[in-house]
Structure 1
Amino acid sequence: MNLRIEPQSSIVAGKDDDLLEEIQRQSFRYFWDGAHPASGLARDRSGRTADPKNDLVAIGGSGFAIMAIIIGVERGWIDRTQATTRLDRMLTALEGARRYDGVFPHFINGMDGSTVPFSRLDDGGDLVETSLLMQGLICARQYFSGDCNDEVDIRSRIDGLWREVRWTSHIKSGERVLYWHRSPRHGFRRNVPVRGWNEALITYLLAAASPTAAIDPIIYHEGFAANGALRNGQSFYGVKLPLGPDFGGPLFFAHYSFCGLDPRGLVDRYADYWEQNVAHCRINYNHSVQAGHAPFCWGLTSSHGPKGYSVGSPATDNGVIAPTASLSSMPYLPEESLQALRYFLSLPRGRIGGRFGFVDAFAPSLNWFARTYLAIDQGPIIAMIENYRSGLLWRLFMSAVEIRGALAELGFDSPHLGKAQGTKSSLDHCSCPG
């Protein structure tokens, strides 16, 4: 990393914008320079200095990769032709991948598209990972709205993948809840119903938005929301938490669904989702301050740790700080996120940073630093910082006719629902290069 360290007290708008752009651009390189060489999809993880010697591709991480490519075009790091060429390769790989009623597995082999089992019983469709991929694809369909053949083709192919997902195939007969996993050999034996509050609000929204296999709204209300059982309402560190587990859980709950789904003014019978996410982040921050982590050092979520991948939260604080947790919270707590960013920049450059920006995590009390990056942690950094800076991904995702229709059907209110919906499933066409 070659960023210049500024004093902690120097939070100036112009300098901050340049700093945020550089942080985004470094994370972008994970998905551009560090992509799987054959498929162009996102590697599940990569090293601080070298690529892994495998072909493991992450489906959810590839959704974040698609969002990163959109931002790369918008910021001028790549041009539209480079982007559409890469997307063509990614879509070819996705179209050729093994799917289960249109649902992708958690991992695939980037060379041949075969399923790489996540565990013994998880060797088939993963509905939540598929939803993270579809969130990115819908943003791309809305962004690449030109009349040239390349962009028309991209939109058509994205629509094909989107329409082929049979969301209802992840409902057990007679039940009113979506199941995370379904295996061709083991069926629903993995037995993980998707109930809130967690990262899967986007899954229920997309399942309701499907033009071919939409769920009934009762599946959302009785399944994810459990008729209101996802509410919390207690206060932690002086902050009232509307939804979810005590102390909020890992911070990716506030990020994954909301890289595309705009929480500003998003309200249903259970919560105001902007208030939910701000409260969740504030509790996480307040805990870190009171727990005695270094000043401005905060961010507890799931990440690599000294003993492998682990879940961090105020309720399970193992001393591991993940830069993605605070940096992806930029829309919710901008001042505190900027302070964390400057603290990270004060750490030893050869340990906190590498070719794709900040490493996945570190443990200050143990003087331990990860030597790896994770796609699902790098992706929200670039996406959520962009939403803080411009709202780009929020505008794109919320412009989709199916998304607005599903929000209304599920009983949500949002400022986006008052906008003209039109008849197209993409934004007004822009000019293609050449």
Structure 2
Amino acid sequence: MTTSPAPSDPRPLGVAMIGYAFMGKAHSNAWRNVASFFDVPAFEQKVLVGRDAGKVAQAAARYGWAGSATDWRSVITRDDIDIVDICAPGWMHAEIAIAALEAGKHVLVEKPLANTIAEAEAMSAAAAAAAAKGVQSMIGFNYRRVPALALARELIAEGRLGTVRHVRAAYLQDWLADAGAPMSWRLRKETAGSGALGDIASHAIDQVQFLTGETVTEVTGTLRTFVADRPGPKGLEQVTVDDAAWATLGMTGNVSASVEASRVATGQKNSLGIEVYGSLGSLTFDLENLNELNFLDASLPVREQGFRRILVNEPEHPHMDAWWPQGHIIGWEHTFTHQIRDFLAAVSAGEAPTPSFEEGLRVQRVLAAIEESASNRSTITRVDRMAFATEGT
């Protein structure tokens, strides 16, 4: 097993990234820029890994990686690699992450943690074993690093909303609204695990728990596939995952929540809308206006009440002191830069980064419970006891 450089070792941390498509590009942008704005440990973008030698070499050159490779197994055993960033499809997460952790590499993996509870449990166990040896791991729920949402969590924790009663979260996209949109790995259960549920509802579920500090204990879920077949290379192929998902969540702290996710919401491009309602106030947020948080203080006289817009752009706001002067807004891509910064800081300090694989497993259990509830048309209680494998279902 290889280990990261000791604090006194001048060698920069070596980073390998597996996957170079959409998420690979977003993560590469963060790795390339994080040191320009934040004080982070020295690191080098060593190698980008993908299946097509020609395409991954081109991507590596474009995204700032020193080299490329097609065999992730050989890469994670290299002595010059200390961090493995996994941006590959979900069906590959467990095998790569577990192997990397066992090889002594710090691991960052995209959400959702895995395609099944069995895989997620194995990953969480591997992370716990690695942590005992000083090897860190983190799941990439990047919306925790949206400054406005981080501020919302602070306000809730400070009691500015009083007792939180209920939360609404809706993540809506429309890239599959056209029935002629082509088949892809994201529409096959064996590769994606689930559809809108795992892809984007996982973000909404994580936010509901992250913002409130409470845990989902029961779910009632519904899944729908509106377009049953999509054009593939050999003709129409059956879609085996959901296009949209709905769930009502019961939580600790007597909090109730509703979650909705759709990839066929015509006209909605990437809207993650969140509403939090408490006894003393409320918060609303939409990802398409990610620099803004709307806050209502119900402790004011009624004639003065109303939602007020907070432009989350001040140096006092979470993550913002490294960026531009006030009023100069940041974008979606900055959430990944914040994520890499926090991950590197944790690795350097020898501290556990957050969200952990265990937190990713908790979300995975909620996803599985929603699937089970939708299948059985029932309410699933004791989500924390969800521990069955879902392969082949």
Q: TM-score, normalised by structure 1?
A: 0.26
Q: Which has the higher helix share?
A: 1
Q: TM-score, normalised by structure 2?
A: 0.28
Q: Which has the higher strand share?
A: 2
